[in-house]
Every structure is written in C-alpha cells, then in structure tokens.
Amino acid sequence: MAGTLRSRSRRNLDAPNGDNVAMPSVNGLEMDSPSSDIENYSKEVLAALIADNLPPTPNNFSLYFDRLLEDKSENLRKQILALLELEEANSDENTIALEQSLKKGFVSMKSMLSATASLYKNMSLMTKILEKRKKELESQPKSEEAMSIIHALEGDVTKLNSIVKAQSSQMKDIYDDTAKIVKNVENETIFDNQFGIYNKRYLLTKIEQETGLIKEFGHKSSLIMIELSRELKKSVKNEKAILLMTRTIARLLLKTSRRSDIVAHYGNGVFSMLLQHTDIESAKKASERLCDLVSNSNFFLADREIQLKISIGVTNLDSMHSVEEIVVSAMDGIEKAYEKKNIDFAVSLRTDKDLEVD
C-alpha cells in the first residue's frame, strides 16, 4: 500500500498558487465552505497533505502551513501571521528559555562563590593585622589591659574565621555539585547561547529524524551549510570584528528563514539550515536569496565599510546515507564554491554511487 501511495505524483509546493483553490473531496465528502480566510487556508493545507500522501500530523501540518503561505497574498499572510503571533511559544522555545535561566542561575552561584572566597580572604587578612598589632603592643610597657582585649578579639576573629572557612568549603562543594548538573544539562541542550540559534546536537538530531521521515514518506528535503567568506576573514584580520560579523550572519539567517526551517550553529562559525520538504532547486533559490540579503547588509568597522559575503554548500537528504555523510556533502559544496570562484554557493549531491557536485 505504501508503495502505491508513493508512486502518485507529488505536489510542487514551490509553484505559484492563488489564494483561492478549489477544495477536493476528502474520503468522498465535499468540504464545506469556509467561514473565514483562516479556515479556508487550513482546509487547503489539509488537502495538500492528503494529495501528497502525508499523514496530517501536527509537524507535517505546520510544515505545509508555512510553505503554502509563501504563495499567498500579502494581506492574507499578514492576517495569518498576526494570529500566529498570539499563540503561546512552542515547546522548543520553552526549553530554550529554561536552558538560559539555568545557565544564568549557575553564573549567579559562581558569583556567590567568588564573593564568599573574597570574604574568607578578608577574614584571613584581618587575622594577620591583629597578629601584627599584638606584637606591636607587646613591645610597649603597661600594655596588659590592651593585650587582654587583643587576646579576646583574636579569639573571636579566629572563631569567625573558622566558621567562614567551613562555610566557604560547603559553598565550594555545592558549586562543584551544581557544575556537574549543569554539565549534564549542557550535554542535552538544544540552544547555542553565543549566536542565539539551535546548536549542533539539535541539528544532527533533526537531520536524523528527517531522513527517517523521508524513508517512510518519500518527500524531498535539503540541507545548506553557511560560513562567512574566508577571503573576507583574511582581509579583516580582527577576531572581534569577525565574531560580530558572524553573529550578524546568524541574525540574517533567522530573518530569512521560515518557522519550519531549522537554523543552527554547526561549529566554528559555520551555520546550517535544514529545509524540510524542500527540493534542491528550491534550496538553491533560498541560498541565492540569502546571499543577496547578506551582500546588501554592510558592516562598519571604525571608518571602514565592509560588504558582508558568505559561502554556501547545498545538499539533499536521503535515507541511504548517514547524518555525517550528509553534513560532509554540504561542506563539500562550500569547498566547491571556493574552487569555482565568483560564485556564492554550490550544490553537492550524494547518490547511491559517488559524490556528485553541480
């Protein structure tokens, strides 16, 4: 049955489409006339999923909801996006907020430990000062009363110093235990604090999930890897400026991406976008739009105006290759873009035989 379903022609989601589409019947029943634009659009999304033999799961519905919306009129897009903004944050966003709060709490505890250590040092310094003053008084005649007071004060300070030392040790133990907890949490995080996008772990998990869905349903998805132009980095030679430019690229990626796209930091300033239900041709168009957006975003370094430039590698996802092979294929696309020169992106396809580069 699954093979029969996949043999049917798939719908081209990137083809121009009007706002009003005749609704097909579902299970032999004619769809009712929608009472609003959002209802009409939702039914169209559902019909598209059925036509493409995909189960109308929340994830698939969300993907198609975003994709089909690109071809709608500006008024309809604004209306629907305004409604979406009123919805509560999704589970991933809640997870990100939790991760950020946890890390802030850890930073606060670290600061508290540092303050406790400073207190202990000051108490030790006070003990040394008392000892110095004690010796000075001992050399003076008629200092019995003063010495008695000093001895009493010395005893009090010693007790207090002992208490602070014990509490400082307890604080250090608490800090060490908390550090272990935070480290374990970091191993499960999905958010990259440095660039404000998803991290490598989350990206690889999503690619693996997507290849599984491709194997099951036979749709097409793509992966693009993006990095700040190496020639640009060589010409700037300022690590702080390069970091700021790289962060700018991350923000632009978020700006140009759809809600269904996975934007992540792969590592060492290399970013990635997982384009679900997107074929290579559509991925190439997305890469071209992204390159244009970046090139039109100038960066100012002191009195120097720098035109930003990126290099992109594009590849396809399939169930025949591992996640690592898919990522390597996209990275190969970046290398090919540098080899050809004068181009901002190149396509690298993994097939059942060899690596093909377009």
- Could you read off the pLDDT of 222-239 as tens digits, one per residue? 999 999 999 999 988 889
Q: Strand 304-307 vs strand 270-275: parallel, antiparallel, or unpaired?
A: unpaired
Length of the chain: 358
Distance CA(126)–CA(130), nearest Å, equals 6
Q: Lowest-pLDDT range, 7-21, 49-63, 305-319? A: 7-21
3-state secondary structure of 262: strand
Q: Lowest-pLDDT range, 2-16, 42-56, 147-161? A: 2-16
- Whether 349 has a pLDDT exceeding 80, the answer reads yes
Concatenate the DSSP letters of all residues of 73-87 into one string.
Answer: -HHHHHHHHHHHHTS
Q: Which residue has the higher pLDDT, 275 or 167?
A: 275
- Whether 220 has a pLDDT exceeding 90, the answer reads yes
CB neighbours of 123 closer than 8 A, spacing ≥ 6?
A: 157, 160, 161, 164, 165
pLDDT at residue 57 in the model: 86
- Whether 353 has a pLDDT exceeding 80, the answer reads no
Closest residue by Cα to residue 219 from 73, 347, 319? 319
State the average pLDDT over residues 232-249.
92
Q: Are 260 and 187 in contact (CB under 8 A)?
A: no
For residue 243, the tally of other CB atoms under 10 A from its CB is 14
Distance CA(329)–CA(347), nearest Å, equals 9
- Whether 16 has a pLDDT exceeding 60, the answer reads no
- Whether 328 has a pLDDT exceeding 50, the answer reads yes
CA 65, distance to chain mean position in Å, is 22
Distance CA(132)–CA(149), nearest Å, equals 14
Distance CA(346)–CA(330), nearest Å, equals 9
Give the per-residue SS3 of 26-64.
ECCECCCCCCCHHHHHHHHHHHHHHHCCCCCCHHHHHHH
Fold of 92-186: Helix Hairpins (1.10.287)
63-79 pLDDT, tens per residue?
888 888 878 888 887 77
Q: Are 300 and 263 in contact (CB under 8 A)?
A: no
Closest residue by Cα to residue 70 from 231, 257, 227? 257
- Whether 207 has a pLDDT exceeding 80, the answer reads yes
pLDDT at residue 204 in the model: 96
For residue 220, the tally of other CB atoms under 10 A from its CB is 19
State the average pLDDT over residues 255-268.
91
Q: Are 120 and 168 in contact (CB under 8 A)?
A: yes
113-158 pLDDT, tens per residue?
777 777 777 777 777 777 777 777 676 666 676 767 777 777 777 7
Q: Where are the domains of the chain?
A: 11-85, 92-186, 195-357
pLDDT at residue 95 in the model: 66
Q: What CATH number does the domain located at 195-357 have?
A: 3.30.70.270
